DNA sequence: GATGATCTCTGACTAAGGTCAGAGATTGTG
DNA sequence: CACAATCTCTGACCTTAGTCAGAGATCATC
């Protein structure tokens, strides 16, 4: 892993830094890139690139002098300002993209077709695993803002996916949760899971949710495993759960994680499949 | 591929830059790292890190002031100087290594055992393919320095591996080569291959060699394929070759690349296996 | 309408990274 | 031995990157 990092920064990183920094300093180039096609608040740019506000102003003025960027007041808030690429700015970004593609094409040109596919697959696999590894999964207060945001997003998604709709008050009462986990990816919450106690030995898994941007990296499975571990630590020996037929990928996940179909045990609203699994610490 | 690069520099690169740059500026840290355990010529450091000579001097003085590095005259050449880590310097590098390992462990801690293995495998696969892609394979004058260096290394290796030894004059006369390819990895020659014409339609593949540091990335196979292409372009329709029984991996490569055993066709010195293959442009 | 918070901008400053043109010592070569 | 080449070092200089403390305008709230 360290070997790869040294290799990568040494060989590929240098290449890409060079293409990006070719026409202008890296800071300006990254900023141009980040403004992108649309119009972006300075506040957001500052957050995304982690820039000092004074520094950002100066960078933008530099780009503005070259007529690549225009900074205009935010119509909704006269304190705030927004940055937009001019036509010349968009051309510059396109040129940067062309160069980046050139570097990549150059590397790929030495590989046979099958190897290119392999490379793309290996990089994709590595990216997903690195992302999954970088996610922090932690016990959280279900009433905390990050947890609320997850539950709201979860409820909104169910509202979209369930033909019959979904109401916020179908969420479990936070105070009832025996376990509540929130997953964070570089600071932003991207998933959650809760366990509500049914009796002294049995819990009900609820609200297992993964942000759309974080799907496919194995986070659902990881949340499930960590939830089981926490539940077992709390003395529970069995988890039950019910799920909606519209959530096919969830059903598949539960099956492959060792959950077995069982008969309904509680409220049947929104629920078509019932599962249970014995757990141990 | 570009996606991966953006992800990687953004998330992993930032992490590693941070740990490296923690105790001292990145430039100094990289330099410490590069000096490493042994004693290193300043010339070589300059080349490897692509530093201005004045800049290098200053960096080294900075490290020298902190008693991390000692710069001493090269005994063989009083113009040149060499840098060595002091005990404190080695401790500093060890500390950097510990921090790097910490970052890696942190990432891996979120993964299950099987996933760690997968990650290592994916990164290794990606590294090998990226290296292979970055190698430049080009027609070269067999008398040029890079080519000579390859042939010398090849001869030295055969001398070691053949029980009966190997003499430099067993190498094919450079002037006879119909095709001569040299592979370069970031400037240094890491492989070669030659074709000597046997008759108007037939060539003999010789001196297919890959530097020990570049083995396992698929460069032998690539050199072989490119050699066949060049030979076909020159109007050859068949390649023959003879190889020594001590070179098991070469025999395996030829077999899997479509070469079929054939009867001896020429000088039998150092040769136990004979192969032939039809080629077409 | 006063007050505190928010947002951008300016000025002053620092460190890091890097370039360039020689000077001075030494070495290889005709 | 003269001369060109090589190697390190010094001084002068520049850009990039980044920080910090306010100033000024605007907004949200009581």
pLDDT digits (tens, 9 = 90+) for B76-90: 888 999 999 999 999
| Helix A53-65, helix A42-49: angle, nearest 10 | 110
Contact A16 B4 (CB under 8 A): no
Tell me the whole-structure pTM to 2 decimals: 0.81
Choice between B18 and A39, residue whose per-residue pLDDT is larger: A39
Q: In the block, which residue shows the tokens 């077709």?
A: A113
B109 to chain A, any CB pair closer than 8 A? The answer is: yes
pLDDT at A21 over 60: no
A196 interface with B at CB cutoff 8 Å: no
Find which nucleotide's C1' atom is closest to B43's CA. Answer: D7
Under an 8 A CB cutoff, do B134 and A107 touch? yes
A7 pLDDT above the threshold of 60:
yes
pLDDT at B96 over 90: no
For the cut 80, the answer to whether the pLDDT of residue A258 exceeds it is yes
How would you classify the pairing of strands A39-41 and A238-243?
unpaired
Say which DSSP state A280 is in. -
B164 falls in which pLDDT band (50, 70, 90)? confident
Instruction: Give the mean pLDDT of chain A.
Output: 88
Cβ of B110 and A119 within 8 Å?
no
Residue A118 is nearest to which of B104, B125, B135, comparing CB atoms?
B125
Average of pLDDT values for A254-269? 90
Q: Write down the pLDDT at residue B149.
A: 86
* pLDDT one-digit tens code per residue, A67-89: 999 999 999 898 999 999 999 99
Q: Is the pLDDT of residue B74 over 80?
A: yes
Indicate the pLDDT class of residue B278, thresholds 50, 70 and 90: very high
Considering only the beta carbons, identify the residue of A3, A12, A136 that sits closest to B5. A12
**H/E stretch holding A69:** strand A69-74
The residue that leads in pLDDT, B172 or A50, is: A50
The confidence score (pLDDT) of residue A45 equals: 92
Model confidence pLDDT, tens digit, residues A176-190: 788 999 999 877 889
Q: Cα dihedral angle (A164, A166, A169, A172), rounded to 10 degrees?
A: 110
**Shortest CA distance from A48: residue in chain B:** B10
Q: Which residues of B touch A110 (CB under 8 A)?
A: 132-137, 222
Does A222 reach chain B within 8 Å, measured CB to CB? yes
Q: How far is CA B266 from the centre of its chain?
A: 32
Which pLDDT does position B20 carry in this prediction? 62
Q: What is residue A198's predicted lDDT score, i.e. its pLDDT? A: 92
Give the per-residue pLDDT at B15: 63
Residues in chain B within 8 Å Cβ distance of A185: none
A26 band by pLDDT with thresholds 50, 70 and 90: confident
Per DSSP bridges, beta strands A238-243 and A202-210 are parallel
Q: Which of A14-23, A108-117, B57-66, B248-257 shows the lowest per-residue confidence on average (mean pLDDT)?
A: A14-23
Q: What's the pLDDT tens digit per position in B202-239?
A: 999 999 999 999 999 999 999 999 999 999 999 999 99
Radius of gyration of chain B (CA): 24
Residue-level pLDDT at B174: 67
Rounded distance in angstroms from the CA atom of residue B54 to the C1' atom of nucleotide C24: 15
A218 phi-psi bin (left φ>0, alpha ψ -120 to 50, beta other):
left
Q: Is the pLDDT of residue A8 over 70?
A: no
Taking the C-alpha atoms of residue A42 and residue A46, their distance in angstroms, rounded to an integer, is 6
Query: Over the range B109-144, which residues count as b (16 or more CB within 10 Å of their CB) and which as e?
Result: ebbeeebbebbbebbbbbbbbbbbbbbebeebebee
CA A152 – C1' D13 distance (Å)? Answer: 58
Q: What is the pLDDT of residue B166?
A: 86
pLDDT at B154: 92
- Residue B19: what pLDDT? 63
| Rounded distance in angstroms from the CA atom of residue B82 to the C1' atom of nucleotide C17 | 23
pLDDT at B43: 92
Q: Is A50 on the interface with B (CB under 8 A)?
A: no
The pLDDT value recorded for residue B2 is: 63
Q: Does residue B271 have a pLDDT over 60?
A: yes
Of B3, B124, B130, the CB nearest to A12: B130
| Å: A139 CA to C10 C1' | 45
Q: Which residues contact B212 (CB under 8 A, 6 or more apart)?
A: B157
Of the listed ranges A98-102, A215-219, A268-272, the least confidently predicted one is: A98-102
Residue B60: CA count within 13 A, CB half-sphere: 25
Residue A9: which pLDDT band, with cuts at 50, 70 and 90? low
Distance separating alpha carbons of residues B11 and A5, to the nearest angstrom: 12
Q: What is the largest CA-CA distance in chain B?
A: 69
Summarised one tens digit per residue, pLDDT across range B101-157 is 777 787 888 888 899 999 889 988 988 998 899 899 999 888 887 888 898 899 999
Question: How many residues does this entry show for chain A?
Answer: 281
Do the Cβ atoms of B8 and A127 come within 8 Å? yes
Mutate to test the interface with B, among A99, A106, A133 (most CBs of B within 10 A): A133
For residue range B9-28, list pLDDT tens digits in order. Answer: 666 666 666 666 567 888 89
A91 CB neighbour count, 10 Å cutoff: 12
- C1' (C1) to CA (A76) span, angstroms: 23
Looking at the complex, does the CB of residue B80 fall below 8 Å from at least one CB of chain A? no
Closest by CA to B191, choosing from B167, B207, B171, is B207
* Pair A56, A70: CB distance under 8 Å: no
Q: D20 C1' – B63 CA distance, angstroms? A: 29
Q: What percent of chain B is predicted at pLDDT more than 70?
A: 91
Answer yes or no: is pLDDT of A175 > 80: no
| Mean pLDDT computed over A2-16 | 64
Mention every residue, 6+ apart, whose C-beta is less than 8 A from residue A87: none
Find residues whose C-beta atom lies within 7 angstroms of strand D.
Answer: A 24-28, 51-55, 77-79; B 41-43, 46, 53-54, 56-58, 60-61, 71, 77, 79-81
**Closest approach of chain A CAs to the CA of B95, in angstroms?**
15
Task: Determine which of A2, A8, A131, A225 to mutate to test the interface with B (most B C-beta atoms within 10 Å).
Answer: A8
Strand nucleotide closest to residue A58 (CA to C1'): C9
Distance CA A177, CA A142 (A): 8
Whether residue B280 lies within 8 A of chain A, CB to CB, comes out as no
Burial zone of A13 (CB within 10 Å; 0-12 exposed, 13-18 middle, 19+ buried): middle
């Amino acid at each position: 892993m360290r070997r790869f990092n040294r290799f990568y920064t040494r060989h590929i990183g240098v290449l890409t830094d060079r293409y990006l920094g070719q026409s202008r300093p890296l800071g300006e180039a990254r900023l141009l890139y980040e403004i992108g096609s649309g119009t972006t608040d300075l506040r957001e740019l500052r957050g995304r690139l982690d820039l000092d506000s004074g520094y950002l102003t100066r960078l933008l003025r530099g780009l503005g002098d070259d007529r690549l960027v225009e900074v205009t007041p935010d119509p909704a808030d006269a304190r705030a300002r927004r940055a937009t690429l001019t036509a010349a700015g968009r051309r510059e970004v396109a040129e940067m993209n062309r160069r980046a593609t050139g570097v990549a094409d150059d590397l790929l040109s030495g590989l046979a077709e099958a190897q290119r596919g392999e490379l793309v697959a290996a990089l994709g696999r590595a990216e997903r695993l690195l992302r999954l590894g970088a996610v922090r999964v932690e016990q959280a207060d279900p009433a905390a803002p990050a947890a609320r945001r997850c539950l709201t997003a979860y409820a909104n998604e169910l509202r979209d996916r369930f033909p019959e709709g979904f109401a916020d008050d179908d969420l479990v009462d936070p105070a009832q949760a025996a376990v509540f986990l929130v997953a964070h990816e570089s600071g932003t919450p991207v998933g959650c899971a809760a366990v509500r106690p049914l009796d002294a030995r049995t819990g009900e898994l609820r609200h297992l949710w993964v942000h759309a941007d974080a799907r496919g990296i194995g986070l659902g499975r990881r949340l499930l495993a960590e939830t089981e571990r926490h539940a077992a630590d709390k003395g529970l020996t069995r988890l039950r759960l019910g799920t909606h037929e519209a959530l096919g990928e969830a059903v598949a996940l539960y099956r492959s994680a060792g959950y077995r179909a069982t008969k309904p045990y509680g409220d049947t609203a929104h629920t078509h499949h019932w599962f249970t699994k014995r757990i141990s610490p």
